[in-house]
């Protein structure tokens, strides 16, 4: 019996999209991803008082996401 393919998550979809970009286009996309993650975390932290500590994690989370975008854009990965 053949197995059904498990539904791929959002990470797999984003990785597939960024592997289709050329390497030079992933650099501005990584910069925009870094800014977007930082802004999103600041918006969430300003809405909910419990999440005020997330503002300190913004640059780290943005850097990780931007790094993943850059890795996906590398030829031969």
pLDDT at 3 over 90: no
C-alpha 64/C-alpha 3 separation (Å) is 33
The ranges assigned to domains in the chain are 21-72
CB 37 within 8 A of CB 58: yes
Mean pLDDT of 16-29: 80
Residue 6: the pLDDT is: 63
The whole-model pTM stands at 0.70
C-alpha 46/C-alpha 59 separation (Å) is 16
pLDDT band at 77 (very low <50, low <70, confident <90, very high): low
39-55 pLDDT tens trace: 998 888 888 778 788 78
Tokens of 11: 């990470």
Angle at 54 between CA 48 and CA 55, to 5 degrees: 100
pLDDT band at 1 (very low <50, low <70, confident <90, very high): very low
């Amino acid at each position: 019996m053949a197995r059904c393919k498990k539904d791929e998550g959002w990470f797999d979809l984003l990785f597939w999209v960024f592997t289709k970009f050329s390497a030079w286009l992933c650099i501005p996309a990584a910069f925009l991803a870094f800014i977007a993650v930082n802004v999103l975390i600041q918006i969430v932290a300003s809405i909910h008082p419990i999440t005020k500590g997330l503002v300190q994690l913004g640059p780290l989370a943005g850097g990780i996401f931007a790094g993943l975008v850059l890795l996906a854009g590398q030829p031969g990965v």
